[in-house]
Structure 1
Amino acid sequence: MKKILTSIIVMVSLFATKTAADTIDFTVTPILEGEQTMTNQTISAKYHAQQALHFNLKNNSENSIDIDIKTAIPDLDNNGNQIFSDCNTFLKAPSTVTIPPNGNQDITINYKTEAFKKDFDGEIANAILFCQGEQELNYIVNVRKNDNIDTENIIIEKSEATTLNKKCFIRILIKNDSNAWLNNVVIESRLVDQATTKPDSHQFSRIAPNSKIEILIPVPEKFKAGTYLTMTSVQTVRRTWHLESQFKLTASKIDLLNGIEQPIHKGQHSKTFFYVSILFILLVLTIIFQFRFIQKHNRI
């Protein structure tokens, strides 16, 4: 019984330790100024050369903590979940801030002026991630240079054949080619001239400006050589696009996609046999010369 109680205490202690490690020990408070507003951790701001973003970080624990600050580009995965791409952004932030126990600190995140030299309508979006270990708080930052409404635009950057877990798909890379957020997006894609004509449907609540999403259309059979044509419909609150894309598959390409090994060409086989034979002869000659050299040395 004593052993059982000891085990339970150890398990509870481990759970408590893990729970403590998984919590965030700080709070973030944006300090808004000028034409900056915030809704649901999304900050909207109008760009001014001398303006910056300000936050107050407060340590709620009895220990000193390090907060890592990262900037990223907001994006969506295939299921419409928010993800962040680690690449160049228009924000310049301190990398790490150390806050003493129960202390707080104001930080400044500046705009990179080179990112705003080009005129644009609508908004461009970045994300700020405040991280403690594997836990994080994030804020989306939408910045505009004027109050115009950007013209939404959707393009297909690429379509191609691919395989995933030994299943065949057509991969379509769609880009929001504008500085506008797309809201309530419905995408329907289908492969023309295939047995299955039912479109593959995807829904996204929001798509960030200048971001890309990947659509996978299942192929009912193995790939065949020829030209593949896709039809994609993209609908937002404001408008609808009807987009086409096509690509060709050669016989050698479909064998690779379908997992069929290519037979060795006779010419290639002959060359391989020739080179192996030469190497074997050289090896035999080397052994013979070495043997004669040893014999001659022993006679001396």
Structure 2
Amino acid sequence: MTGSDATSRGIDTSVPHPARRYDYWLGGKDNFAADRESADAIEAKFPGMRAGIRANRAVLRRMTTYLAAEAGLRQFLDIGTGLPTADNTHEVAQRIAPHSRVLYVDNDPLVMSHARALLTSSPDGATDYIEADLRDPRAILEAARERQALDLTEPVALMLIAVLHFVRPGTGEAQKIVRTLLDALPSGSCLAVTHFTTDFMPDEEKVRYQGMLDAGISDIWPRDRSAFTALFDGLELVEPGVELISRWRPEAGGDDTDPSRISIYGAVGRKP
């Protein structure tokens, strides 16, 4: 999609967007100059950013595998979809259980355009898409019911992968969002979250990153372990609990990247 095509579809290419910046870090082509400039500015100060983004993509695959294969879930609500790449949620879930149903949600029309074109379901399953914002969880739930994409009386895997850190901490908004969504889901549903943190960074990098937030260079708000864990209040954490994402159920060989270069927490919790 060219810049002029994007503009004609109501996409503001002059403002960086997390999904397109994420795409750039993963080596994709669905991004614009503002996204690349924003990503480069962040990466110039934190050279490990791409390692963290790739580790996040890998843990999405492992979490989805757990949810489909071990937890036995067949419905997935993936909010903050991002631009399509390898091993998207529905691809992983439907490889395990072809009749799995996945509803993707994002607030970027470019993401939704690509999702509808590229994220095709298995013949036995279902994949649907709605354009909505994480900050309006009631609208997401209402749209899900109207589309009948998911049966909210049956367990659902709520996927909030690298999206809650765009909600400013200290206001309690992130917990309210999570609670509103989980309250609409039945017992046996699960919450999967990954979230940026500065807990693993050297002190000088923490100070530098805070300076970027203060200057408006970054819109990725870190939470510490305590604040991250609080997102799972009332849930039963799945082993290994709250962990650096490269250490969450790692595959054989694991990832020996310096934790300070990844700096993302991950966890899965089950609703009793």
TM-score range, shorter chain: under 0.3
Structure with greater proportional helix content? 2
TM-score normalised according to structure 1 size: 0.19
TM-score normalised according to structure 2 size: 0.20
Considering only CA atoms, is the larger Rg found in Structure 1 or Structure 2?
1
Which structure's relative contact order is higher, taking Cα pairs within 8 Å and 6+ residues apart? 2
